[in-house]
Structure formats: C-alpha cells, structure tokens
Chains A and B, each alone.
Chain A
C-alpha cells in the first residue's frame, strides 16, 4: 500500500526524501482510479525515489498551494522542491522516464 499523506505529514515527506512522487487524487475521480494501480506498481518497484498519495478533497490547502485544479495530478519533488507537475492519466513508462530524468 502506498502511504497516504495529509496536511501534517506532507512537508516532512517531501523534505525527507531526495526524490518524491506524489499522486494527487480523489475517490470519485475515474481517471484517478485508473492511476491508482499504476502508482502502486511504481511504488513497489521504485528504488531511488519515494511514492505517496494525497487526497485533494481532504487536503485542500495543499491543492491550493501547488495550484492543483485538475486530478489526477502527479507532483514530482527533488530535494523538497517541486520540479514537475503532470496533469492527467499517464502510462507507467512515462512516469518512470520522468522520474529517472530528474
């Protein structure tokens, strides 16, 4: 299971990992439900980056902070800094390529 972040755990997670991939989602979002298993697979295989999920409905301040207004959105952090925002459903290979490129 991929860890679920919230407003109190988010910052320590992105600061505590050199590279982090955050899947921003909400339960009623169809494309998010499709992204879910892809993120689970990536998390199980990821060696040099951390993966977590963030429910944007329950954690709206983070959605506002990172200007998220469509989900699924993947936030990619390096050294605690946002380096990529990927909007919409993405294939696994695309995500892995982006993660290896940062």
Chain B
C-alpha cells in the first residue's frame, strides 16, 4: 500500500506526529503497539493541562482515537523491516503488511535490551548474545534458548532452528503475530513459559535456570526483547545511529537521510512525555512539509 508518511512507534511522540501529519492532509499510517510504549505503564501527573495522575495507556488510547479521527490509519503491529528504495521507503509489519512511503518518522522509543538476571553480564560473548542474526553461525549443532515475548524473539527462534539442533523459546506471553509464532513452532522450536532466573556456566554458558526450579542445558542464550530496535531500523534506511543508539536530528527533527525523521526518546534524554509530544508535533509537521514539497 502507498502512503505519504509511515510513523514507526505508537507512543506519545509517534501519535502526536501522526496527529499533526494527518491534519496537514497527508496520508499517514502509524504502526506500533501503544502497550509497548514506556508511557503505557506510567502514571502521568506532570503533563500540561492534565490533572493527574492519569494512566499512560489511557492517554495513548485517546491519542490513537484523535489520530484516526483526523484520518491517520492505525496498525497495531510491530515493524519488522524498513528500507529505502530510491527516494521511497518500504516498511513491513509482522503480519506481512507492506507500505511504500515518501517519508518515515522513527518514534520507536528506547527498547530494553538487557534482561537483568544473574550471569547475564558475566557471559556476554561467552554464550550470551543480543543479536541472533549476528551470532547464529556460531551455534551450529548446539542447543540454544531465545528469551523474549515479541517479534524479535519469535523471528530469532525461527532463525536459530536453521543452525542449532535444539531451540527453546522462553516466553510466558508471546505477543508477536500469530503467523510468526506458528512459523517458529512449525520449525521445531520448543516453547517454555517459566521465566528465566539465572544463567549458569563454567567459563561459558552451560545452563539456564528457570523460576520453576528446572534447568535447561544450553550452549547459547539469545536475549531478544521487544521489537526491532531503532538502531537496526535506521541502518537499513542508510542512517548510522549514534554510539548510544540514539538518532541524530536537526531542529526540524530531520535526519541526514532525506524524508527520514525521528522524534521522542529515540533522539535522546530527558525521556519525558511533554518533550516527546513537542518533538512529535515538529516531526509530523516537518514530514508533512517534506511530502508536500516532494509532490
């Protein structure tokens, strides 16, 4: 499907960007899961005009209603890839929806990467990995566990079946699209729902200890929390992220790549709803101007 703008991320910044873009009468699709926004679980009481505390998820729900009322299309899915095709961008979602856009606004926020369990830090590079695409090749014929509930975990588990002989997927509540989950299961992935508690080993990863007390002997542990990170997304759109995984933007929230904008937590601190919303407004207007200029 063709559209003027795709907003990636349905937090305060992305939703505000979609509202402003849609009101400028440019076709706008916002892709993301509000429940995954850092604001979703927050109780907000420092946002102008809102006497709190209010639940973040309620504000996000209202914002989505506003954005769609102004004409934006809301797709409650994760983006699994975004790339450039000449001056255009091709954005694909977890259920296989594909959008060709003149402009992309990256408002993914900052994703949690580390799990924070004992042994995790100790075994980084000794069996603990945060990038299955990078490290799959080192686990041929081995046993691995993939940890995470979302699209990255589902896709990693599926990928690892092509290398490892046994793949466990540690997820209590798989939130990836059913097709991705089914594909992983069909490929032979074994799902376990007890949360990981500790990583054990002797010089290298040997076992994953679960909350229920059981242990799984593994050679590798892939920690793949959340959706595809902003850093990975923008690299595929020809933009190099900063060393701290933030995205550099100018005063119009434009990146160095024409048509590619970014706003919200992903451009840096402080991670505040008010700041994210202001930036979303700017990015939405800038992207709309870009699209109108490009027409």
Contact = CB atoms under 8 A, between A and B. Distances in A.
Max chain B C-beta neighbours (<10 A), residue from A32, A34, A89: A34
Contact of B138 (A33, A68, A72, A85): A68
Interface of B: 124-129, 131, 133-135, 137-139, 204, 220, 231-232, 235, 240-241, 243
A91 interface: yes
A30 B134 contact: yes
Nearest to B219: A69
Contacts of A26: 134, 137
Interface stretch (A6-14, A15-23, A45-53, A56-64): A56-64
A30 B131 contact: yes
Contact of A32 (B134, B204, B231): B134
Which 8 pairs of residues, A with B, have the shortest CB-CB distance? A87-B125, A29-B134, A69-B138, A70-B125, A70-B129, A70-B135, A30-B232, A91-B243
A35 B239 CA distance: 14
Main secondary structure of the interface of A (DSSP, over half): loop
A85 B74 CA distance: 46
B245 to A, nearest CB: 9
Given A29-B131, A69-B129, A70-B129, 16 more contacts: A26-B134, A30-B133, A30-B232, A30-B235, A34-B231, A34-B235, A34-B240, A34-B241, A60-B137, A69-B125, A69-B126, A69-B127, A69-B139, A70-B135, A71-B135, A88-B124
A72 B28 CA distance: 37
B124 A87 contact: yes
Given A28-B134, A60-B137, A69-B220, A33 B235 contact: yes
Contact of B134 (A63, A71, A91): A71
A25 B127 CA distance: 17
Given A26-B134, A28-B134, A57-B137, A70 B231 contact: no
B131 A31 contact: yes
9 contacts: A30-B232, A32-B134, A33-B235, A56-B138, A57-B137, A63-B138, A67-B204, A69-B204, A87-B125
Interface in A38-96: 56-57, 60, 63, 67-73, 85, 87-89, 91
A56 B125 contact: no
B127 to A, nearest CB: 6
A89 B240 CA distance: 13
A56 B126 CA distance: 16
Contacts of A72: 134
A87 B130 CA distance: 11
A53 B62 CA distance: 51
A31 B134 contact: yes
Chain B CB count within 10 A is highest, among A34, A57, A70, A85, for A70
A60 B129 CA distance: 18
